[in-house]
């Protein structure tokens, strides 16, 4: 039996914080400190360790004089762990003495909430304040800069070389991820070589790098010569093959995995969903359940994607029940997947139920519901949801506008479509892409304003693609605009669909000789008409 003063520090935390919690009237923090010969700072640290931020904060606020920099830093850490970035920031601003840990902790906070601009600002302030960045600083800011400030990676690299921190495994793997983003293979390898004592994460970073850059063979060689492998190495390899569109090799390695977890199962299922091989995706999901692996929100959202892809309403609905049971239902991404699944399976009502119950919505959630309305032909509702979206301060992006414009197409709302097409750049700085032009051409074409459609195609700042021509052609076909279609033929576009359209128009006008001439041309070029297909939806019990 150890004496009380031989009990390790770590075990005390639980003990004395319990003591304080259970009998706050009998014993004060001050007495606890006395009994256990703890400083206020020690006690604060123990509270933070236990996740008891409120007790820590109370003690901290009541004893300002006995709080040193370590206590301040612990408080900042505690607030960040509880997602209270605002409070953390206030403490950071108020603290009398900041050391490198204070700065690093704040940087990690901005990294956690994914605010690269604040992260960048704080890093500049840190340098201005004369605090020298260390290995913690570099690994944090590099990972936080990815996708936003990728260009800074080489410059940070040079600072790192200057400070002699290049051999640190954390710094090194962050740099490797940075160079992977920059698609710079040779720098990736340089950084790898510079890390003198490599650990498994270092090797895994190389594996990710090779796979992301498409060097499949090098990735496999790396995998085969790695000193040790963990489940992450295996999953990286499997996912790498999926990303490089080699699903069979992915499955081969997947089957060879010594053990699998949620992540590896989800990655493999996702691979099949991307290939639109929904049968295999669902079979694999069943095997996953049989192997006693619980799905998480990643898995569910992947499967909902599968349901949306092939209109499996029943399975989607069952998954929804599972999600409700699992308590994952307030997950933002998952709700958005559910909305998408329901709209694509024809149940816009359920989609709205979920959408309206969401506490926080982002651009993607709004886009799914607007897109859902569009798909259901509810043009006016799509526009009113769009109005609500902008009024709530959410900024529309290019996808929002694709959905808004396609709603206008379905509803034949030419005026509204034109309005939004123009205001997207003027009000929100969203430049029109190919898809937006396609929608507008489609809109004009269906409304019979083929002249406007043609003018738009001519004015487009880039070369129209098949989609744009297809929309124009469809519009012409709908209104039998022989001249325009024939014009397309003269322009040298020889898609067989143009000839097919000409056949249709000639037939309608009764010029059979022309129609036959066109048909022969199609056959001559080996063109064949696509088989037509459609599905009819019956609704029972509702009008």
Among residue numbers 35 through 64, which ones bind DNA (CB under 7 A)? 45, 48
Q: Which is nearer to DNA, 76 or 456 (CB)?
A: 76
DSSP state, residue 144? H
Task: Select the residue interacting with DNA from 301, 350, 381, 497 (CB under 7 A).
Answer: 301
Report helix, strand or coil for 61. Answer: helix
Cβ burial 450-471 (10 Å sphere, 16+ → b, else e)? bebbbebbeeeeeebeeebbbb
**Residues contacting DNA: total by CB under 7 A:** 73
* Residues 144-173 interacting with DNA (rule: CB under 7 A): 168-173
* Residues 356-375 interacting with DNA (rule: CB under 7 A): 362-365, 367-368, 371
Task: Select the residue interacting with DNA from 120, 192, 239, 307 (CB under 7 A).
Answer: 239
Would you count residue 264 as binding DNA (CB under 7 A)?
Answer: yes
SS3 content of the chain, % helix, strand, coil (to 5): 75, 0, 25
Would you count residue 406 as binding DNA (CB under 7 A)?
Answer: no
CB of 218 to DNA, least distance (A): 17
Contact between 143 and 180 (Cβ < 8 Å): no
Contact between 512 and 506 (Cβ < 8 Å): yes
Would you count residue 187 as binding DNA (CB under 7 A)?
Answer: no
Would you count residue 143 as binding DNA (CB under 7 A)?
Answer: yes
Would you count residue 17 as binding DNA (CB under 7 A)?
Answer: no
Would you count residue 297 as binding DNA (CB under 7 A)?
Answer: yes
Query: Which residues lie closer than 8 Å to 525 by C-beta, 6 or more apart?
Result: 494, 496, 499
Phi-psi region for residue 377, left (φ > 0), alpha (ψ -120 to 50) or beta? left
Element (H, E) at 264: helix 262-274
Report helix, strand or coil for 359. Answer: coil
Q: What angle do CA 133, 135, 139 make, to 5 degrees?
A: 100
Would you count residue 350 as binding DNA (CB under 7 A)?
Answer: no
Q: Which is nearer to DNA, 111 or 222 (CB)?
A: 111
Would you count residue 202 as binding DNA (CB under 7 A)?
Answer: yes
Q: What angle do CA 458, 466, 369 make, to 5 degrees?
A: 95
CB of 257 to DNA, least distance (A): 9
Would you count residue 104 as binding DNA (CB under 7 A)?
Answer: yes
Choose one: 314-322, 325-333, 404-412, 501-509; the region binding DNA (CB under 7 A). Answer: 325-333
Task: Select the residue interacting with DNA from 30, 152, 232, 358 (CB under 7 A).
Answer: 232
Q: Which is nearer to DNA, 172 or 475 (CB)?
A: 172
Q: Which is nearer to DNA, 67 or 484 (CB)?
A: 67
DSSP per residue, 113-126:
TT-HHHHHHHHHHH
Q: Which is nearer to DNA, 386 or 469 (CB)?
A: 386
Task: Select the residue interacting with DNA from 235, 350, 406, 497 (CB under 7 A).
Answer: 235
- The CA distances from residue 505 to 100, 374, 509, in Å, are 76, 30, 6
CB of 260 to DNA, least distance (A): 8
Choose one: 100-108, 117-125, 280-288, 439-447; the region binding DNA (CB under 7 A). Answer: 100-108
């Amino acid at each position: 039996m150890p004496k009380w003063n031989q009990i390790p520090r770590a075990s005390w935390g639980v003990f004395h914080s319990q003591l304080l919690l259970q009998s706050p009237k009998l014993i004060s923090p001050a007495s606890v400190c006395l009994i256990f010969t703890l400083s206020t700072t020690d006690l604060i640290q123990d509270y933070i360790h236990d996740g008891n931020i409120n007790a820590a904060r109370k003690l901290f606020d009541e004893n300002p004089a006995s709080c040193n920099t370590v206590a301040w830093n612990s408080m900042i850490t505690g607030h960040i762990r509880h997602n209270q970035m605002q409070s953390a920031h206030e403490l950071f601003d108020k603290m009398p003495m900041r050391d490198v840990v204070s700065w690093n902790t704040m940087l990690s906070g901005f990294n956690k909430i994914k605010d690269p601009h604040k992260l960048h600002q704080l890093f500049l302030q840190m340098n201005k304040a004369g605090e020298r960045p260390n290995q913690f600083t570099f690994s944090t800011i590099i990972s936080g800069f990815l996708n936003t400030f990728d260009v800074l990676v080489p410059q940070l690299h040079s600072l790192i070389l200057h400070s002699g921190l290049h051999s640190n495994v954390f710094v090194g793997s962050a740099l490797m991820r940075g160079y992977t983003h920059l698609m710079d293979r040779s720098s990736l390898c340089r950084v790898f070589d510079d890390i003198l004592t490599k650990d498994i994460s270092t090797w895994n970073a190389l594996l990710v790098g090779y796979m992301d850059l498409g060097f499949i063979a090098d990735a496999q060689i790396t995998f085969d010569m790695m000193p040790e492998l963990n489940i992450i190495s295996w999953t990286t390899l499997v996912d790498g093959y999926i990303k490089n569109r080699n699903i069979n090799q992915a499955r081969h390695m997947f089957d060879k995995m010594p053990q699998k977890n949620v992540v590896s199962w989800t990655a493999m299922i996702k691979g099949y969903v991307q290939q639109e091989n929904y049968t295999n995706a669902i079979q694999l999901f069943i095997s996953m359940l049989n192997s006693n692996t619980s799905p998480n929100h990643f898995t569910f959202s992947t499967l909902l994607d599968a349901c949306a892809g092939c209109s499996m309403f029943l399975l989607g609905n069952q998954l929804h029940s599972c999600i409700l049971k699992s308590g994952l239902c307030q997950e933002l991404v998952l709700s958005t997947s559910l909305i998408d699944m329901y709209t694509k399976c024809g149940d816009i009502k359920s989609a709205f139920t979920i959408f309206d119950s969401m506490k926080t919505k982002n651009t993607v959630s709004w886009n799914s519901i607007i897109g859902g309305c569009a798909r259901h032909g509810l043009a006016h509702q799509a526009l009113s949801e769009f109005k609500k979206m902008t009024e709530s301060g959410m900024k529309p992006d290019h996808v929002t506008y694709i959905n808004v414009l396609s709603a206008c197409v379905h509803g034949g709302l030419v005026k509204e479509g034109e309005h939004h097409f123009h205001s997207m750049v003027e009000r929100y700085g969203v430049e029109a892409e190919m898809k937006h032009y396609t929608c507008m051409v489609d809109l004009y074409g269906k409304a019979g304003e083929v002249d406007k459609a043609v003018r738009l195609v001519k004015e487009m700042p880039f070369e129209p693609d098949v989609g744009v021509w297809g929309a124009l052609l469809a519009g012409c076909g709908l209104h039998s605009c022989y001249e325009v279609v024939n014009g397309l033929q003269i322009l040298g576009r020889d898609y067989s669909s143009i000839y097919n359209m000409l056949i249709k128009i000639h037939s309608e006008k009764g010029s059979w000789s022309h129609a036959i001439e066109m048909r022969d041309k199609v056959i001559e070029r080996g063109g064949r008409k696509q088989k037509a297909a459609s599905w009819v939806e019956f609704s029972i019990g509702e009008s």
